[in-house]
Amino acid sequence: MSGPAPAGRTDPARSVGPELVWYASYGSNMRMARLTYYLAGGCPPGSDHRHPGCRDPRPPRLAVPVMLPGDVYFALESQIWTGGIAFYDPAARGEVAGRAYLLTAGQFADVAAQEMHRAPDVDLDLAAVLRTGRARVGPGRYETLVLVGHRGGVPVLTFTAPWSLADVRPTVPSAGYLAMLAGGLREAHGWSPARIAAYLAARPGAAGVWRPADIERLVAE
């Protein structure tokens, strides 16, 4: 007999909450091909990290562009990309371009688990985040759930760090990571290279270091 589920997660047999949720991505998972490795498993090109995938590997039911209140910034350092990685601060001023995927609650839990470097085998208890708008399910960098809003009556959820933009020193993102985000923005929103470059160059961590013209060249590559 297995022991109790970790805090913030629940046994699938006891899971209560919405059947479907919108997962709002603001980072590399804006690229459908990138998200597919979290859903179906496998090792993305250029990485030696193999994702176990979701218990339910099916693709999203829908994918739509979204604009979220707040700001995205780059901090810490990615072992895969090197340089800063994207975090979301819903309380900051601004607007964040993202992509929302309609997933089952179990798929969302499994994607989040892989970002948290956990095994994707237990559902998340979403009661707290749906009630209060925010729930910390662990101490790690992507272990804080945020309710961004609702779309068609379905909750829009994402995950980020427990701290705010003001609490951390931004880190410069790598060219490869910016190119991945640029591809996601183009895929999701259909923006021009110039608009993508201006958006990314203004984000904390990239601002003042990456020029829009340099990012625009990454988009064209």
pLDDT per residue as tens digits for the range 74-106: 999 987 788 999 999 999 999 999 999 999 999
Q: Which of 205, 194, 185 is nearest to 25 (CA)?
A: 185
Residue with tokens 């072992």, as numbered in its chain: 79
Decide if 216 is inside a domain. no
Decide if 195 is inside a domain. no
Decide if 181 is inside a domain. no
Contact 43, 37 (CB under 8 A): yes
Q: Is 152 left (phi over 0), alpha (psi -120 to 50) or beta?
A: left
Decide if 111 is inside a domain. yes
Decide if 188 is inside a domain. no
The confidence score (pLDDT) of residue 44 equals 85
Domain, as residue range, for 59 = 9-73+86-169
pTM of structure: 0.90
Tell me the CATH number at 93.
Answer: 3.10.490
Mean pLDDT by 10 residues, the chain (221 residues): 40 57 98 97 83 97 98 92 95 97 98 92 95 93 96 97 95 96 97 97 98 92 69
Decide if 44 is inside a domain. yes
Q: Alpha-carbon distance 214 to 110, whole Å?
A: 35
Q: Alpha-carbon distance 163 to 182, whole Å?
A: 25
Helix (H) or strand (E) holding 145: strand 144-151
Decide if 175 is inside a domain. no
Decide if 183 is inside a domain. no
Domain count, the chain: 1
The confidence score (pLDDT) of residue 17 equals 63
Alpha helix segments (H runs only) across the chain? 32-40, 105-115, 127-132, 175-189, 193-201, 212-220
